[in-house]
Structure 1
Amino acid sequence: MKKVSFAEFGGPEVLEVVDAEEPHAGPGQVRIAVRAAGVNPADWRVRQGQVLKAHPVELPSGVGIDASGVVDEVGEGVEEVKAGDHVFGEGSSTYAEFAVLSAWARMPEGLSFEEAAGYPAVVETALRIIGQVGVRAGQTLLVSGASGGVGSAVLQIARERGIKVIGTAGAANQDYLRGLGALATTYGEGWVERVRRLGPVDAALDLAGTGVIRELVELTGDPGKVVSIADLGAPEHGVRFAGVAGDMDDALAEAVRLISRGRLHIPIAKSYTLHEAAQAHIDSHAGHTRGRRVVIV
């Protein structure tokens, strides 16, 4: 089979499409014929060797954790799905023609493979960090870098829970944020004052890693009310860096519930082929995404 792999840590140029042996489902796993794989910042952080303590890597390594596809092999003990079922979930080396998933759910009716691949990691992350920051119904959450995949999920989940959201993003994404129910403002010079004019902030999330941790602590008045998923230096300011994933099974169940009720939709910003994986990482690293990027297999 074909898969994207890297034999050394480095820039996007280390990625290559190689011929590899097909993986097989172990106990409690399923194998899918991959139709699409989500592109996450974690993918290029792993490729760069940034997060080896949390994500040990044996080289050469595949790439990707999110995927959607058709079940074609079921491991021992798996009873809730069968060959031919359409699923989305989390696994390893998902930029490939076949991948093994360790957590999955049946795709909601009407959802395309391309769309489904964009949900697993971002919904799990959004649910986890909303919980970690301790924001409740009636309070205000500031989201820095709100237009990407995680931001899109955070805004919609917060809206569902009665949490008011102020989101920062580029000028081109202001209407997008408002369409998701947020009060929107641009980042850049003067952004702190623009946020203050929108009202007091109870908690804040840093999703972009643009060096705003100090300002987020200032706006909330408490480093314990700030969580970052993108700034590795956040702990220097007493802020939690949320780098370890939580319960993916629960996250997928919640994603299915919200998608099925029409309460969650994350658009696809751009699609790539396996041979365009390096460009997908370049674009993901650059940010300014509206929604998700996916690799089509």
Structure 2
Amino acid sequence: MPHGDFDGETMQAMTYDRFGGTEVLAATRQPRPKVGPGEVLVRVRGAAVNPVDWKIMAGGLKDLMDTVFPVVPGWDVAGVVEATGIDVPEFSRGDEVIAYARKDYVHGGTFAEYVTVPVRCLARRPSAFSWEQAAGLPLAGLTAYQTLTRLGTREGETVLIHNAAGGVGSLGVQIARSLGARVIGTASPANHDRLRALGAEPVSYGEGLVERVRGLAPNGVEVVADFVGGVLDTTSAVLAEGGRHASIADDTVTRAGGQWMWVRPDGNDLGALADLADAGKLTVRVAETFPLTRLADAFELSQAGHVHGKVVVTP
């Protein structure tokens, strides 16, 4: 049975009414969203910034997804169920949840006081995580998890992760380790100690990378997860016979027998990540938090590309 009727009420939200840079963002009042069948209304406690958020705002996906202005950006959320729609027996008001809340078109996102989320996207918040950590898990965690599981990563295999110190890569290291794999991770030397702490064997970028990987895995690696792009030659040179590879950043991998990955909202997969977090096998590093009205600053920090960890906005 639905809980609550919010017709006519409004909420604070960050929105944009045209494509552009951070100058198009504005703090506005928007109607609190209706809670449709198979949806829940979430009171946002944290919403993480991902590069896709500001790329969409610049028009980067306008040929792929329909856009309805004004847009509330944001796809990652952690919060509390405020109301449930028809046919949602799984959740109740007051439940603490997380979601990769991507919908079928660009409009009602997570950088607001409230967001509606399809129940298929939802999972319980890991109790081991703060609200900020929980908000930073869904998109990056699912990207890493789905890449590694679709590649069939198994215990005893060796996995090479490109950009292992990045937001997706650092989660990928931990997930691959939880699957029983040995992990080799590319990163700048400044991040090698951090990768070792996560359970990876670090190797530096640049000339000689193939030789460095081959030095650690003379027979090649069974799995390669590319989380940066532009590394297909290296992947091909270190992949063992019969090995599998995928990229989230280079669609040309399909010409070399690889998989081109696009993360899918999936509450079951997200629940598996929450279980890893509660088992102490997965952590999320939060770099900085911003209040909702400083979303432009949060986007600009993400755009600068030097942040180590998730940037999280808290209404």
What's the TM-score once normalised by structure 2's chain length? 0.85
State which of 50, 69, 77 in structure 1 corresponds to 2:87. 77
Residue number in structure 1 paired with 2:152? 134
Residue number in structure 2 paired with 1:207? 227
Residue number in structure 1 paired with 2:212? 194
Residue number in structure 2 paired with 1:3? 13
The amino acid across from 1:93 in the alignment is G
Gaps of 5+ in 1: none
C-alpha RMSD of matched pairs (Å): 2.3
State which of 111, 117, 124 in structure 2 corresponds to 1:101. 117
Provide the C-alpha distance between the structure 2 equivalents of 1:106 and 1:86, rounded to a whole number of angstroms: 6
Return the index of the structure with the highest Cα Rg.
2
Provide the C-alpha distance between the structure 1 equivalents of 2:237 and 2:299, rounded to a whole number of angstroms: 32
1:65 aligned onto 2:100: no
1:173 aligned onto 2:191: yes
Provide the C-alpha distance between the structure 2 equivalents of 1:82 and 1:221, rounded to a whole number of angstroms: 48
Provide the C-alpha distance between the structure 2 equivalents of 1:232 and 1:50, rounded to a whole number of angstroms: 16
CA distance 1:274–1:224, shift in 2 (3 Å): farther
Residue number in structure 2 paired with 1:226? 245
1:86 aligned onto 2:105: no
Give the drift of 1:186. 2.2
How do 1:1-297 and structure 2 match up within 5 A?
1-91=11-101, 92-102=108-118, 103-199=121-217, 200-209=220-229, 211-220=230-239, 225-232=244-251, 234-235=253-254, 239-245=258-264, 248-297=266-315
CA distance 1:232–1:273, shift in 2 (3 Å): farther
CA contact 2:126–2:277 (8 Å) conserved in 1 = yes
Name the SS of the counterpart of 1:31 in structure 2: strand
CA distance 1:140–1:221, shift in 2 (3 Å): closer
Provide the C-alpha distance between the structure 2 equivalents of 1:54 and 1:221, rounded to a whole number of angstroms: 35
Provide the C-alpha distance between the structure 2 equivalents of 1:34 and 1:140, rounded to a whole number of angstroms: 39
The amino acid across from 1:101 in the alignment is V
Give the drift of 1:156. 1.2
Give the drift of 1:106. 2.4
CA distance 1:110–1:206, shift in 2 (3 Å): closer
Deviation sequence 1:106-163 (CA, Å, 0-9, x none): 2232422111101112222122101233332222111111122321221111111111
Provide the C-alpha distance between the structure 1 equivalents of 2:241 and 2:261, rounded to a whole number of angstroms: 17
CA contact 2:161–2:224 (8 Å) conserved in 1 = yes
Deviates more, 1:121-130 or 1:228-237: 228-237
The amino acid across from 1:206 in the alignment is D
Name the SS of the counterpart of 1:72 in structure 2: strand
Provide the C-alpha distance between the structure 2 equivalents of 1:188 and 1:38, rounded to a whole number of angstroms: 31
Deviates more, 1:184-193 or 1:223-232: 223-232
Name the SS of the counterpart of 1:60 in structure 2: strand
Deviates more, 1:248-257 or 1:102-111: 102-111
Name the SS of the counterpart of 1:50 in structure 2: coil
CA distance 1:133–1:44, shift in 2 (3 Å): farther
CA contact 1:147–1:289 (8 Å) conserved in 2 = no
The amino acid across from 1:83 in the alignment is R
Residue number in structure 1 paired with 2:7? none
CA contact 1:132–1:227 (8 Å) conserved in 2 = no
CA distance 1:280–1:233, shift in 2 (3 Å): farther
The amino acid across from 2:52 in the alignment is A
CA distance 1:237–1:270, shift in 2 (3 Å): farther
CA distance 1:239–1:45, shift in 2 (3 Å): farther
Provide the C-alpha distance between the structure 2 equivalents of 1:295 and 1:170, rounded to a whole number of angstroms: 28
CA contact 2:39–2:88 (8 Å) conserved in 1 = yes
Give the drift of 1:164. 0.9
Name the SS of the counterpart of 1:7 in structure 2: coil
Give the drift of 1:263. 1.2
The amino acid across from 1:175 in the alignment is D
Name the SS of the counterpart of 1:20 in structure 2: strand
